[in-house]
Amino acid sequence: MTLSDEQIAELEAVRAKLEVRMVEKPRRYQHSVGVAKTAYEIARAYDVDCFSAALAGLLHDWDKVLDDHELLVRAAQYGVRVAGSPSAAVGLLHGPVASYELLHIFEGIDASVCQAVARHTVGAVDMTPLDMVVFVADAIEPGRHGDYAERLRAMVGESSLEELFFQTFAQGLVYVISGGRYLYPTAIDIYNAYAAKRTR
């Protein structure tokens, strides 16, 4: 799937806004551009809308520039539901918070793009193909290094998108648990939901 000139222009306009927003966080900006490019390629491999994938990739960390206090304030303002401890989960709130704000910042943005942004941090039991593409792209964009990233990259186009998502999600759990980090309460339910599908 190729992008139209209009879509390319729209992505470029969003990229320019993102660059200004992240001017003090150049590494985060480069990561976002990398996620957009990777999401585009994964979307092509699995016949998912490439424009939506690239747009969600660009915007997935839109609110990563906010400090913890501001994220908690905005999450409360928008009624973002947080399982467990909000303060412990604050590092995961930038996706859900941004999903509310992007609807007002970018006129006409598709709700599916906002949902993919919301779900790129903790996932869900009912991930759409677009959700999965962005989740995986965040984990394997070129700035990510390590054996896990190479293994997951090699799966693109070789395994089903759902299996690729499952393996990416499982790797995330390994990372969180091995480092003694806070495990978001819904993580086990999500893992089990997709693990159960694999045994059918």
SS3 65: helix
d(CA 94, CA 188): 21
Q: Name the residue with tokens 């915007």.
A: 59
Burial of 40 from C-beta contacts in 10 A (0-12 / 13-18 / 19+):
buried
**The token pair that represents 200 in the structure block:** 């059918």
Both tokens of 117, joined, read: 């942004």
* Contact present, 129 and 30 (Cβ < 8 Å): no
Residue type, 128: T
Q: Tell me how far apart the alpha carbons of residues 114 and 106 are, in angstroms, rounded to a whole number.
A: 10
Domains and CATH numbers, the chain: 5-198 (1.10.3210.10)
Q: Which helix (H) or strand (E) holds 172?
A: helix 161-178
**pLDDT score recorded for residue 200:** 67
Could you say which residues of the chain have pLDDT below 70?
A: 200
Per residue in 50-101, pLDDT (tens digit) is 999 999 999 999 999 999 999 999 999 999 988 888 889 999 999 999 999 9
Q: Are 75 and 97 in contact (CB under 8 A)?
A: yes
Residue type, 170: A
- Residue 124's CB is within 10 A of a number of other CB atoms, namely 15
